[in-house]
């Protein structure tokens, strides 16, 4: 996978029989070999879970700290928010 630096072994997963269980979000996808999870950004390759979007940024913004779940920061300061490709929702 070295020729594609955005594909890396993922974190937060475990093997469960013939499947891999992704533990990144609340969906807890059970993914079999050669398939991807609901978000389409994690897939099982060779019995391991890989992230297919490592380092890919789809959005970046500075948001007021009051918008975030931070409780010990200065009011009126900003937090850098970075997002990547994925979806955990079931929009029509």
Q: Collect all residues with Cβ–Cβ distance below 8 Å to 2 and sequence separation of at least 6.
A: none
Q: Collect all residues with Cβ–Cβ distance below 8 Å to 63 and sequence separation of at least 6.
A: 78, 79, 81
User: By three-state DSSP, how is residue 38 classified?
Assistant: coil
pLDDT at 88: 64
| 85 pLDDT above the threshold of 90 | no
pTM: 0.74
pLDDT digits over 20-72, tens only? 999 998 899 999 999 999 999 999 999 999 999 998 888 999 999 888 887 77
């Amino acid at each position: 996978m070295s020729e594609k630096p955005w594909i890396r072994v993922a974190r937060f997963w475990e093997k469960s029989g013939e499947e891999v269980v992704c533990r990144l979000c609340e969906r807890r996808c059970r993914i079999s070999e050669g398939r991807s999870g609901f978000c389409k950004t994690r897939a099982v390759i060779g019995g391991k879970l890989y992230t297919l979007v490592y380092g890919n940024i789809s959005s970046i913004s500075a948001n007021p700290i009051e918008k975030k779940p931070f409780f010990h920061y200065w009011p009126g300061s900003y937090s850098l928010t970075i997002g990547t490709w994925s979806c955990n929702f079931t929009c029509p």
